[in-house]
Structure 1
Amino acid sequence: MKLALILNVIDPKIGGVMIMGDRGTGKSTTVRALVDLLPEIEVVLDDPFNSDPSDLELMSKEVREKIQNNQTIETRKRKIIMVDLPLGATEDRVCGTIDIEKALTEGVKAFEPGLLAKANRGILYVDEVNLLDDHLVDVLLDSAASGWNTVERESISISHPARFILVGSGNPEEGELRPQLLDRFGMHAQIGTVKEPHLRVKIVEQRAQFDESPILLRNQYQEAQKELSDKIKAARKLRPKVEMGYDLRMKVSEVCSELNVDGLRGDIVTNRASQAIAAFEEREQVIPEDIFRVIPLCLRHRLRKDPLESIDSGDKVKDVFKKVFGLQV
């Protein structure tokens, strides 16, 4: 789970993470803890969409027009933000609304941005995503896939960038996501309750320490936290330089074909995740061990053909990987 989250911060185009697991295993806590590790990005000042001043795909129409007219754009640095999407949110709250009255009387497109606008270039976290209304899940996944959100009301249409890392979590006892929706998440992590008594005791002790003195416990891990944050920043810069050989890409596609994975998302996500983990390990070349570490997370949720079938633990993916690559990792 931690690896999948970190790789998505390094390369947001991996497509997000779906985390399923037992109650009380720290899914939400881990996702929210990611905020402390997030690097800073440059955004246009007073822009509701966190527009990137240098990337046309990540800026609003207004900012693009200013740049085309050679107007000065003020910017500032801010941390990547995480937006929580509550279960009871309406479609208007998620997508944003158009003030029809103002549009008709004043002739301007009065748009009230929603959560998708706020989450642009950040993380959108949906707890209990398997309980979210299907139409809202469709809206989220369409925006996550295209990178844009379009709101249409009474012949008025407004589009804005909505490129975010979609993170969902849930308890499989409360119902699974439909296979076609699962496929839209780049990676899938399965979390189980810790069985070893000494690890359980360690977790309970740390929780007790946190309840007693949160600041003291945070200070103990501040150095390790900063080290990890710096490593993620360096990996984000290195990621575009990382190369993956043609033979490795061929073998990844062979694994996907052998596993009968529908579509090509599995191939794309595995390649991107392999490059992200190589960057995280401070290397410019992907090696088979990188692929072995990420391929179960990228493919395990894409193997299920029957909605009643349970999601593979990852062993099937690893077995086929070893067969195709002809090595023991």
Structure 2
Amino acid sequence: MNKIIKQARPVFPFTAIIGQEEMKLALILNVIDPQIGGVMIMGDRGTGKSTTIRAIADLLPEIEVIADDIFNSHPSDYDLMSDLVKEKVENQNDLDTEFIKVPMVDLPLGATEDRLCGTIDIEKALNEGVKNFEPGLLAKANRGILYVDEVNLLDDHLVDILLDSAASGWNTVEREGISIRHPARFVLVGSGNPEEGELRPQLLDRFGMHAEIRTVKDPSLRVQIVEQRTNFDYDPYSCIKQFQDKQNALKESIVAAQKILSNVVIDYDLKVKISKICGILNVDGLRGDIVTNRAAKAYAAYQNRDEVLVEDIKKVITLCLRHRLRKDPLELVDSGMKVEKIVGEILN
């Protein structure tokens, strides 16, 4: 019997979301392998971006953390522990653990650097010799999802900090010679509307994947989406119960994929073809090659396979490369179509 947990704020089920397959796949793959590097979701307003991101966080199984630790430290993975927890482990202290939902943190547009990174109480440190750290959003998002709506309107300096932390998995705060470092492993998800401005190419390139979403045009599908949302708003727990089996099945698929991911292999010839496609498309640097290899492995694991097939690469490569192409204002061909054309020629 499926148990429906009553929440203060019920979350729309991920498996109930109609359409927007690109966005859903990109989120699933990043959850399977956070090292893909996050997702940039660009598209029209009112297309369910925020709803989908909250839904994937709610879908995931609970994680085990050290009780009362502000960084959601892992009880056994050394790389996911705060320095304080490491000290306790080294001193063989017994640590209590608890299970919590995967953290889902929103970064507001008006956030300051202190709000994002956290602050050190200098006065207390100088007077009492105690490192008193007020955690920021990066600490709260550790081992979870950090979501930035309208990321193209966020201050470039904060975007740089976000991307550096997402890439390194660590956040370091330094004030007056006092330094605190803590793990900051999270899936970075940004969303925005291209009409309100694009991200700088060098920042856009740092996102692992780029999903484009459009407003559904089909009238019958629009009616279906409206009815489903109306039913959820009227009686959320009935809707959650209706999709519970699908939710559980997807959760099991994600957990199974995470377990076999490290065993997935990709043939050398396929790696060469991925790099050939990146070369023909004039993709700067090697990030495109690396992300495509990672995403293809994650997709193969998601399909419960331990070897990458050509079909896996075709499924993910546009998501990994479309935002890395050099923009030509006179070019009439969409960047995604350009990738698909070259992929069709090389991976035939």
- Unaligned regions of 5+ residues in structure 1, if any? none
The code of the aligned residue for 1:188 comes to: H
Q: 1:219 aligns with which of 241, 259, 278?
A: 241
Q: Matches of residues 191-230 of structure 1 in structure 2 within 5 Å?
A: 191-230=213-252
CA distance in 2 between partners of 1:125 and 1:311 (Å): 30
Q: 1:6 aligns with which of 28, 39, 57?
A: 28
Q: Does 1:149 align with 2:171?
A: yes
State the Cα distance separating 1:68 from its structure 2 match.
2.2
Q: Matches of residues 1-329 of structure 1 in structure 2 within 5 Å?
A: 1-305=23-327, 312-325=334-347, 327=348
Deviations 1:85-134 (A, max 9, x none): 11111111110000011001001211111110011111000111111111
CA distance in 2 between partners of 1:121 and 1:209 (Å): 32
State the Cα distance separating 1:228 from its structure 2 match.
0.9
The code of the aligned residue for 2:57 comes to: V
Which deviates further from its counterpart, 305-314 or 259-268?
Answer: 305-314
Cα pair 2:58 2:102 within 8 Å, conserved: no
CA distance in 1 between partners of 2:230 and 2:70 (Å): 40
CA distance in 2 between partners of 1:39 and 1:304 (Å): 39
CA distance in 2 between partners of 1:294 and 1:233 (Å): 20
Cα pair 2:277 2:343 within 8 Å, conserved: yes
Secondary structure (helix, strand or coil) at the match of 2:146 reads strand
Cα pair 2:57 2:145 within 8 Å, conserved: no
Cα pair 1:19 1:189 within 8 Å, conserved: yes
Deviations 1:28-69 (A, max 9, x none): 111111122112222222111111222222111111122222
CA distance in 2 between partners of 1:55 and 1:232 (Å): 20
State the Cα distance separating 1:306 from its structure 2 match.
5.5
The code of the aligned residue for 2:221 comes to: L
Secondary structure (helix, strand or coil) at the match of 2:148 reads strand
CA distance in 2 between partners of 1:119 and 1:83 (Å): 6
Aligned length: 326
Which deviates further from its counterpart, 285-294 or 310-319?
Answer: 310-319
Deviations 1:183-229 (A, max 9, x none): 11000000011111111121122122223222222221111111111
CA distance in 2 between partners of 1:248 and 1:198 (Å): 41
The code of the aligned residue for 1:157 comes to: S
CA distance in 2 between partners of 1:64 and 1:292 (Å): 42
Secondary structure (helix, strand or coil) at the match of 1:120 reads coil
CA distance in 2 between partners of 1:203 and 1:107 (Å): 57
CA RMSD of aligned residues (A): 1.7
CA distance in 2 between partners of 1:70 and 1:308 (Å): 64
Which deviates further from its counterpart, 305-314 or 123-132?
Answer: 305-314
CA distance in 2 between partners of 1:21 and 1:124 (Å): 19
Question: Residue 17 of structure 2 aligns with which residue?
Answer: none
State the Cα distance separating 1:274 from its structure 2 match.
0.5
- Unaligned regions of 5+ residues in structure 2, if any? 1-22
Which deviates further from its counterpart, 244-253 or 177-186?
Answer: 244-253
Cα pair 2:43 2:193 within 8 Å, conserved: yes
CA distance in 1 between partners of 2:331 and 2:202 (Å): 14
CA distance in 2 between partners of 1:317 and 1:307 (Å): 17
CA distance in 1 between partners of 2:235 and 2:335 (Å): 38
Question: Between the two proteins, what is the percent identity of the paired residues?
Answer: 71
Cα pair 1:301 1:311 within 8 Å, conserved: no
Secondary structure (helix, strand or coil) at the match of 2:92 reads coil
